[in-house]
């Protein structure tokens, strides 16, 4: 486990923080500087003024993403505000760069007013090829993302919602296959009805889950038709049911999806689930129930968590770098539902393929096996093949749905990505 002292030393040692900006063109001579700034810089400015799309030819916009937060729902820390969230956003920038060679400016907005966050993003949009919303509380995040998606012509993606949904969705499809279930027949119970919970439930519906088979529970219990005071996002999932508590809902359930807090699920609850239950306890740092507790009562369960020290880690880094890579490379105007579903399918397929994982993965996880089955339902974050599967799938879906403004030939694109993997190995 990482200690407090190690974490603080890592962030403060040498040059403070985790990111820096470096020039991509020579800056050695006076002529270099004259090209980089005045007078030479005027020429690309004139070209962009005449034809706005030339911005992607003459500037870094096409490979630049804004990671935007107001710090109201930082993972494991809560509402710590914009300033204290900056180390997390710098960390997000590192992941974008390390896994997909996407550059990032982190933007911390000192406001809890959704309209102010929206307006800031709208005003700075010309700088960026895409916007990744991060750690914004529900229900504000829904309004912010919806409005930005409707008013901007660049990809907007709230990772706490869609990233978790995409990765867990791929794991769900594979776990259902292993246990010989169909998603249309699976009873799925959620603990947590915030941004991640509601977005996962929506995506699972898109994958085929029946609305009447999805039960959401929040801190007040089951979200049902008779409950008053539900916001519109929770009301969307209110169903007719006699269940009132999480324990009630889990009796006979096929799938548990935890996006709430540690320790909420007891061994007795898991014991009451259907044969071969799927237990996705994804609260961080402490899952809703520990894998050891699950194994003690159900040796037929398939378990996933958000932690790296257990098999089947549902880690958002499997999604956002590669989704943005594919979207940026075809200059997509948005990240739509088919693009998200394409990412789900690509991740699920990679784990099912039965190919030997690269040596880098085995070194990173020396005590694990990688045969498709109960302990390997989702690829590992350090698997370089994720880039080759997810980015082309997203790019293809963007082209198929008419939101790509710079189509690519997929075979040639995959070869380009292979070269990117080699470059990333040096970071």
Degrees, nearest 5: CA angle 71-338-157: 15
Residue 427 has pLDDT above 80, yes or no: no
Residue 356 has pLDDT above 90, yes or no: no
Domains of the chain: 19-154 (3.40.50.10380), 162-305 (3.40.50.720), 319-424 (3.40.50.720)
Residue 174: DSSP 8-state = H
Percent of the chain at pLDDT > 70 equals: 100
pLDDT, tens only, 184-208: 999 999 999 999 999 999 999 999 9
Active-site residue, selected from the candidate residues 92, 234, 340, 380: 92
Q: Is 92 a catalytic residue?
A: yes
Distance in angstroms between the alpha carbons of the first and the last residue of the chain: 24
104 token code pair: 């990032």
Cβ partners under 8 Å of residue 63, min gap 6 = 101, 102, 103, 129, 328
CB atoms within 10 A of CB 325: 24
pLDDT, tens only, 58-107: 999 999 999 999 999 998 899 999 999 999 999 999 999 999 999 999 99
Amino acid 178: pLDDT:
97
Cβ partners under 8 Å of residue 380, min gap 6 = 313, 357, 361, 364, 365, 370
Q: Is 37 a catalytic residue?
A: yes
Cα(113)–Cα(97) distance, rounded to whole angstroms?
A: 30
Which range among 72-81, 147-156, 293-302 shows the weakest confidence by mean pLDDT? 72-81
Cα(398)–Cα(80) distance, rounded to whole angstroms?
A: 36
Amino acid 309: pLDDT:
86
Amino acid 308: pLDDT:
85
pLDDT, tens only, 12-64: 999 999 999 999 999 999 999 999 999 999 999 999 999 999 999 999 999 99
Identify any residues that bridge with 191 across adjacent strands, giving them in sequence order.
Answer: 217, 258
Arithmetic mean of pLDDT over the chain: 95
Amino acid 422: pLDDT:
81
Helix axes 114-124, 140-151, angle to 10 degrees: 30
Residue 379 has pLDDT above 80, yes or no: yes
Contact 224/263 with Cβ under 8 angstroms?
Answer: no
Verdict on whether the full-model pTM lies above 0.85: yes
Amino acid 180: pLDDT:
97
Amino acid 259: pLDDT:
95
At 409 the three-state DSSP class reads: coil
pLDDT, tens only, 115-141: 999 999 999 999 999 999 999 999 999
Range with the largest mean pLDDT of 224-228, 401-405, 420-424? 401-405
Active-site residue, selected from the candidate residues 10, 37, 49, 58: 37
């Amino acid at each position: 486990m990482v200690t407090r002292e190690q974490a603080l030393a890592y962030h403060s040692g040498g040059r403070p923080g985790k990111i820096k900006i470096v020039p991509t063109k020579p800056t050695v001579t006076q002529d270099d500087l004259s090209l980089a700034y005045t007078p030479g810089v005027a020429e690309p400015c004139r070209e962009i003024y005449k034809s706005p799309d030339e911005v992607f030819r003459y500037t870094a916009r096409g490979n630049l993403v804004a990671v935007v937060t107001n710090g109201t729902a930082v993972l494991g820390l809560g509402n710590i505000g914009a300033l204290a969230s900056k180390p997390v956003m710098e960390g997000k920038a590192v992941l974008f760069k390390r896994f997909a060679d996407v550059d990032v400016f982190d933007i911390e907005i000192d406001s809890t007013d959704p309209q102010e966050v929206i307006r800031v993003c709208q005003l700075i949009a010309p700088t960026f090829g895409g916007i990744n919303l991060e750690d914004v509380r529900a229900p504000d995040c829904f309004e912010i993302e919806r409005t930005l998606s409707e008013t901007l012509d660049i990809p907007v993606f709230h990772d706490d919602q869609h990233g978790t949904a995409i990765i867990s969705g791929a794991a769900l499809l594979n776990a259902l296959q292993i246990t010989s279930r169909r998603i249309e027949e699976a009873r799925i119970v959620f603990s947590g009805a915030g941004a991640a919970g509601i977005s996962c439930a929506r995506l699972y519906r898109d994958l085929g889950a029946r609305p009447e088979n999805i039960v959401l529970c929040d801190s007040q219990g089951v979200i049902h038709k008779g409950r008053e005071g539900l916001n519109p996002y929770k009301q969307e999932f209110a169903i007719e049911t006699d269940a009132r508590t999480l324990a009630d809902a889990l009796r006979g359930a096929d799938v548990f999806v935890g996006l709430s807090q540690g320790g909420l699920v007891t061994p007795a609850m898991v014991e009451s689930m259907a044969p071969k239950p799927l237990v996705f306890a994804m609260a961080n740092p402490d899952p809703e129930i520990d894998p050891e507790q699950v194994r003690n009562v159900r040796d037929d369960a398939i378990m996933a968590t958000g932690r790296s020290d257990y098999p089947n880690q549902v880690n958002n880094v499997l999604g956002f770098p590669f989704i943005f890579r594919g979207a940026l490379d075809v200059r997509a105007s948005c990240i739509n539902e088919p693009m998200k579903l394409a990412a789900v399918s690509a991740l699920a397929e990679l784990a099912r393929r039965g190919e030997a994982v690269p040596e880098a993965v085995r070194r990173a996880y020396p005590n694990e096996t990688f045969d498709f089955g109960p302990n390997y339902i989702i690829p590992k974050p350090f698997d370089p093949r994720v880039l080759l599967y997810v980015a082309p799938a997203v790019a293809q879906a963007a082209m198929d749905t008419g939101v790509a403004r710079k189509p690519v030939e997929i075979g040639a694109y995959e070869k380009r990505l292979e070269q990117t993997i080699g470059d990333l190995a040096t970071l």
